[in-house]
């Protein structure tokens, strides 16, 4: 894989987020991330799933047991905004380790900067460019951004 700049990686991730946003057909926030995980694009049918768990170790983590459907194991007691962000973040792990993600070459592009990639993707998955532009055009301000898009406050501040 050729060396790739942060800007180029982010550009690619914005398009991954855009793909899921367009697939969900969402026209206004919030983006139904859990709905997408439960009813994914056909190419990820065997890679997306959500399992609630009791744990103090992680907020969420993606795992694919051998020969079985991959799932995001998410802590059951997270705040709704934290849960959405954790699910969106782990969705990228599900995509890039999927058969289709591997056929696209996504691991080579994203694995070396996985934390930054998953967090950047999650912020754009939950607040896609088109919806943010529409929100701003309608006079939406920074104060209402987190609530409208159901984002954790720190994520909203960074995304705004």
Partner 1 sequence: MSMQALNQLVSRSIVDPTVVQAFRSGRIGDVLDELEFTSDLRAQLEGIESDSWAEFAVISYRYVKAAEMPAPRIELPSPLEGLFPDQQSQADQEQVA
**Where along the sequence are the contacts to partner 1 (CB under 8 A)?**
1-2, 4, 8, 11-12, 14-16, 18-20, 22-23, 41, 43-44, 95, 100, 103-106, 108-109
Write the CB contacts of 24 (distance below 8 Å, at least 6 apart in sequence).
Answer: 31, 32, 35, 36
Closer Cβ to partner 1, 24 or 150, answer by number: 24
Angle at 108 between CA 60 and CA 82, to 5 degrees: 20
Least distance in angstroms from the C-beta of 13 to partner 1 = 10
Closer Cβ to partner 1, 49 or 152, answer by number: 49
Closer Cβ to partner 1, 13 or 74, answer by number: 13
Nearest to 61 by CA among 112, 128, 115: 115
Least distance in angstroms from the C-beta of 5 to partner 1 = 9
The helix-helix angle for 114-126 and 80-97 (nearest 10°) equals 120
């Amino acid at each position: 894989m050729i060396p790739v700049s942060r800007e180029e990686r982010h550009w690619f991730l914005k398009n991954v987020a855009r793909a899921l946003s367009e697939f969900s057909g969402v026209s206004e926030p919030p983006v139904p991330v859990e709905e997408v995980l439960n009813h994914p694009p056909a190419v990820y049918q065997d890679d997306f799933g959500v399992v609630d768990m009791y744990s103090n170790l992680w907020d969420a983590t993606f795992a694919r047991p051998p020969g079985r459907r991959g799932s995001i194991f998410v802590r059951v007691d997270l705040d709704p905004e934290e849960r959405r962000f954790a699910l969106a973040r782990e969705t990228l792990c599900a995509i890039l380790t999927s058969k289709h993600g591997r056929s696209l070459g996504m691991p080579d592009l994203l694995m070396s900067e996985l934390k930054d990639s998953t967090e950047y993707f999650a912020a754009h998955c939950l607040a896609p460019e088109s919806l943010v532009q529409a929100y701003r055009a309608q006079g939406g301000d920074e104060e209402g951004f987190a609530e409208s898009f159901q984002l954790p406050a720190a994520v909203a501040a960074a995304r705004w």
